[in-house]
């Protein structure tokens, strides 16, 4: 049996639909249940439901053999895992945003859920900024004067607009990725190969 | 300062039974190594940082505990023991080759603690120096399996790769240094999707495209060698495949093949390894327990060039993978007076003094 870590929240429905399309017997109660561990109908797979930012941790430690997580999380955490496939759903953009016309200068304050990504993005451009880590409601920061700019995920752009912000630069195109533990790749070689085959067939790029 | 009462980051106190388990594991490894006539080499805990730069390449400084000596030269706590073995043997001109050494000791790496491995951790390993033969590789692999079995590790999974397989591909594709580096990074993450995107932007014939796309999936059993064979024309990669096939054949003949897999997409540390590369995994741990391979150019960087092959195993990782029970202690005889205690000790009996406080 292989263990698959799935992200609760925004991407869960699409993940489950994709796994079902790949021929996995995902139990229907996965959406409704409060249980955080479920088994597939044929007993071939156990699903664990965790916070999206925690998926790489479970997979890196081998508690889960594989998992589904966003490119944004992978960029921020750089976990030491295999990342074979882009699953083509859960698409969004990571952007730098602020009030219209805000320049990114030295000592600009950036509020974000992605402090390492922010730090790297500005350093590569030779700009020393002050990164303010937040865990939610990042769009509030410019209005309240906590930061001039933010780095955050954007799907439709509505939340930005409602808070009087505009996209200044796109940083990253995000989507759901399959990640695999480095040891499991070999120690559960046949099961992992089957999983990859069924997913590649479904994606058929 | 309160720091005087705080454990420094990355180090640990290893107490009974963990210390006893580690000692027992180290003993099993040592028995195996000396059973194959490997001699112990005790090496310094620190050396010039330059030695490690030379051996481990760019990026090594980020992972080293380095500090300045009184004369101003930069020293480092050893992040790797093979480098020191290489340096120690490069100065000698021994009459008889090959040389066989084993070592065990602490190494220091500035990394986040994972799977029982702190920044200070204990490695044991062997180096077989002065032979580039197939037999030297078989010998090292057999010792690895025996050592782990003696420790009681039930599931032992060792994927074999070859540095020249990937090097040959990069050369044949005539990739720029940057493109070669990107491809290596993608293969290291087995990122089929990323490779697809990368090669769609390169000027590569379609026949080769399919093969590069396939690279991350060239991992599995012995059959992977047959699958790769018709896809490969360049001589370096072909020789690598032939070598791996020969190793597998001999391991099968010796009844040891069940522990081995093939991973042609193993591309880590290609500056260091020149031929066979392998990692050691177990079903009971999500991290590698050990690694090794052939490094024919390392010793030459310090003096007389000599081919070599070896491996190291992390004892903390091994302990976690074993989740072993502590070895049983010998029976203890409690003693109240020193006279009889001394008598029993002369007979090599285990005693414990009952102190009245």
**Minimal CA–CA distance to B315: which of B51, B24, B26?**
B26
Contact B157 A181 (CB under 8 A): no
A110-to-A118, A126, A172, B79, B333 alpha-carbon distances in Å: 8, 15, 17, 37, 68
- A46 and A63 assigned to the same domain: yes
Question: B30: domain range?
Answer: 8-155+283-326
- B204 and B137 assigned to the same domain: no
* pLDDT value of position B326: 67
- A152 and A141 assigned to the same domain: yes
Q: Which of A183, A185, A188, A201 has the most B C-beta neighbours within 10 Å, making it the best mutation to test the interface with B?
A: A183
Q: pLDDT of B31-60, one tens digit each?
A: 999 999 999 999 999 999 999 999 998 788
Contact A83 B190 (CB under 8 A): yes
Domain membership of residue B355 (yes or no) is no
CA distance B80 to B88: 13
- A75 and A31 assigned to the same domain: yes
B17 cis-preceded (ω within 30 degrees of 0):
yes
* Lookup: tokens for B103: 């070592």
Q: What is the mean pLDDT of chain B?
A: 93
Taking the CA of residue A179 as centre, how many other CA atoms within 13 Å lie in the half-sphere pointing to its CB? Answer: 31
Q: What is the pLDDT confidence band of residue B93, given thresholds at 50, 70 and 90?
A: confident
Count how many domains chain A has. 2
CA distance A199 to A193: 10
Q: pLDDT of A117-175, one tens digit each?
A: 999 999 999 988 999 999 999 999 999 999 999 999 998 889 999 999 999 999 999 99
Q: Residues 93..152 of A with a Cβ closer than 8 Å to B: which?
A: none
- A63 and A111 assigned to the same domain: no
Q: Any idea what the CATH number is for the domain that residue A125 is in? A: 3.40.190.10
- B185 and B322 assigned to the same domain: no
* pLDDT value of position B95: 79
The H or E element containing residue A90 is none
* Lookup: tokens for B107: 């190494």
Contact A200 B192 (CB under 8 A): yes
Check if the beta carbon of residue B88 is closer than 8 Å to that of residue B116. Answer: no
Q: Which of B161, B192, B219, B284 has the most A C-beta neighbours within 10 Å, making it the best mutation to test the interface with A?
A: B192
Surface-to-core class of residue A5, CB atoms within 10 Å of its CB (0-12 exposed, 13-18 middle, 19+ buried): buried
- B84 and B177 assigned to the same domain: no
What angle do helix axes B206-214 and B163-173 make, rounded to 10 degrees?
150
Q: What is the pLDDT confidence band of residue B155, given thresholds at 50, 70 and 90?
A: very high
Q: pLDDT of A67-125, one tens digit each?
A: 999 999 999 999 999 999 999 999 999 999 999 988 777 668 999 999 999 999 999 99
* pLDDT value of position B325: 64
| CB crowding B328-354: b at 16 or more within 10 Å, else e | eeeeeeebeeeeebeeeeeeeeeeeee
- A157 and A56 assigned to the same domain: no
A185-194, B94-103, B236-245, B328-337: range with lowest mean pLDDT: B328-337
Surface-to-core class of residue A46, CB atoms within 10 Å of its CB (0-12 exposed, 13-18 middle, 19+ buried): middle
Tell me the residues of B at the A interface, defined by beta carbons under 8 Å apart. 114-115, 155, 157, 159, 189-194, 196, 216-217, 219-221, 261, 263, 279, 281-283, 285-288
Contact A83 B217 (CB under 8 A): no
- A33 and A83 assigned to the same domain: yes
Q: Residues 19..78 of A with a Cβ closer than 8 Å to B: which?
A: 60-63
Domain membership of residue B135 (yes or no) is yes
Interchain contact A184–B (C-beta under 8 A): yes
- A85 and A186 assigned to the same domain: yes
Residue A189 with chain B: CB contacts under 8 Å: 219-221, 261
Residue A86 with chain B: CB contacts under 8 Å: 193-194
* pLDDT value of position A111: 96
Question: A180: domain range?
Answer: 2-90+175-203
Residue B156 with chain A: CB contacts under 8 Å: none
- B105 and B21 assigned to the same domain: yes
pLDDT greater than 70 at residue B324: no
pLDDT greater than 80 at residue B357: no
DSSP codes, B159-188: EEEEHHHHHHHHHHHT--HHHHHHHHHHHH
Domain membership of residue B349 (yes or no) is no
- B242 and B287 assigned to the same domain: no
Contact B191 A83 (CB under 8 A): yes
- A185 and A146 assigned to the same domain: no
Q: pLDDT of B264-294, one tens digit each?
A: 999 988 888 999 999 999 999 999 999 999 9
Share above pLDDT 70 across residues of chain B, in percent, rounded to a whole number: 98
- A59 and A127 assigned to the same domain: no
Check if the beta carbon of residue B131 is closer than 8 Å to that of residue B310. Answer: no
Contact A185 B190 (CB under 8 A): yes
Contact A189 B114 (CB under 8 A): no
A27-41, A75-89, B297-311: range with lowest mean pLDDT: A27-41
Q: What is the mean pLDDT of chain A?
A: 93
Interchain contact A194–B (C-beta under 8 A): no
Rounded to a whole number of angstroms, the distance between the first and last alpha carbons of chain A is 28
- B57 and B143 assigned to the same domain: yes
Count how many domains chain B has. 2
Interchain contact A173–B (C-beta under 8 A): no
- B287 and B228 assigned to the same domain: no
Contact A84 B155 (CB under 8 A): no
Minimal C-alpha gap between B165 and chain A (Å): 19
Q: What is the pLDDT confidence band of residue A28, given thresholds at 50, 70 and 90?
A: confident
* pLDDT value of position B202: 84
Q: What is the pLDDT confidence band of residue A187, given thresholds at 50, 70 and 90?
A: very high
pLDDT greater than 90 at residue B195: yes
Q: Which of A187, A196, A197, A202 has the most B C-beta neighbours within 10 Å, making it the best mutation to test the interface with B?
A: A187
Q: Which residue of chain A comes nearest to B221, CA vs CA? A: A189
- B319 and B207 assigned to the same domain: no
* pLDDT value of position B112: 82
Domain membership of residue B278 (yes or no) is no
Residue B115 with chain A: CB contacts under 8 Å: 61
Contact A187 B283 (CB under 8 A): yes
pLDDT greater than 90 at residue B335: no
- B129 and B207 assigned to the same domain: no
Minimal C-alpha gap between B262 and chain A (Å): 9
β-pair partners for A153:
A94
Q: Is the dihedral of CA B219, B221, B222, B224 positive or negative?
A: negative
CA distance B290 to A182: 13
A26-40, B74-88, B136-150: range with lowest mean pLDDT: A26-40
């Amino acid at each position: 049996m292989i263990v698959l870590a799935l992200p609760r929240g925004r991407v869960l429905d699409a993940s489950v639909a994709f796994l079902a399309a790949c021929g996995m017997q995902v139990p229907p109660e996965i959406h409704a249940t409060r249980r955080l561990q479920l088994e597939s109908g044929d007993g071939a797979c156990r699903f664990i439901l965790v916070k999206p930012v925690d998926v790489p941790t479970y997979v890196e430690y081998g508690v889960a053999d594989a998992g589904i997580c966003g490119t944004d999380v992978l960029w921020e955490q750089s976990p030491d895992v295999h990342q074979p496939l882009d699953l083509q759903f859960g698409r969004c953009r990571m952007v730098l945003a602020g009030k219209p016309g805000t320049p990114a200068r030295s000592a600009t304050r950036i509020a974000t859920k992605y402090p390492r990504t922010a730090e790297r993005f500005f350093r590569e451009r030779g700009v020393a900024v002050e990164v303010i880590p937040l865990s939610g409601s990042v769009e509030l920061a410019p209005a309240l004067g906590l930061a001039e700019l933010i780095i955050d995920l954007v799907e439709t752009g509505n939340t930005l607009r409602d808070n009087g912000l505009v996209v200044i630069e796109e940083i990253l195109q995000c989507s759901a990725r399959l990640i695999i533990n480095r040891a499991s790749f070999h120690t559960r070689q046949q099961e992992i190969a089957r999983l990859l085959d069924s997913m590649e067939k479904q994606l058929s790029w | 300062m309160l720091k005087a009462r705080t454990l420094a980051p990355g180090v640990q106190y290893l107490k009974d039974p963990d210390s006893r388990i580690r000692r027992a594991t180290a003993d099993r490894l040592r028995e195996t190594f000396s059973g194959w006539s490997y001699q112990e080499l005790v090496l310094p805990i620190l050396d010039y940082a330059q030695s490690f730069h030379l051996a481990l390449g760019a990026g090594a400084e980020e992972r080293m505990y380095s500090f300045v000596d009184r004369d101003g030269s930069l020293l480092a706590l050893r992040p790797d023991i093979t480098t020191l073995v290489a340096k120690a043997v490069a100065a000698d001109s021994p009459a008889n080759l090959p040389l066989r050494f084993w070592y065990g000791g602490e190494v220091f790496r500035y990394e986040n603690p994972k799977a029982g491995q702190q920044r200070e951790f204990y490695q044991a390993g062997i180096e077989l120096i002065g032979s580039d033969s197939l037999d030297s590789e078989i010998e090292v692999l057999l010792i690895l399996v025996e050592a782990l079995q003696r420790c009681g590790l039930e599931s032992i999974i060792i994927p074999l790769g070859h540095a020249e397989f990937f090097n040959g591909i990069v050369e044949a594709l005539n990739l720029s240094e940057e493109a070669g580096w990107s491809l290596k990074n993608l293969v290291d993450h087995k990122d089929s999707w990323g490779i697809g995107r990368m090669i769609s932007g390169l000027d590569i014939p379609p026949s080769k495209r399919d093969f590069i796309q396939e690279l991350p999936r060239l991992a599995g059993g012995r059959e992977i060698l047959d699958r790769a064979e018709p896809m490969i024309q360049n001589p370096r990669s072909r020789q690598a495949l032939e070598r791996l096939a020969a190793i597998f054949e001999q391991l099968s003949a010796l009844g040891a093949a069940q522990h081995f897999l093939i991973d042609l997409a193993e591309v880590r540390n290609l500056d260091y390894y020149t031929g066979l590369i392998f990692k050691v995994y177990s079903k009971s741990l999500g991290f590698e327990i050990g690694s090794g391979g052939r490094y024919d150019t390392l010793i030459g960087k310090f003096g007389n060039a000599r081919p070599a092959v070896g491996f190291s195993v992390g004892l903390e990782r091994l302990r976690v993978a074993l989740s072993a029970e502590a070895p049983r202690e010998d029976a203890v005889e409690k003693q109240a007076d020193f006279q009889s205690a001394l008598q029993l000790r002369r007979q090599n009996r285990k005693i414990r003094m009952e102190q009245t406080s």
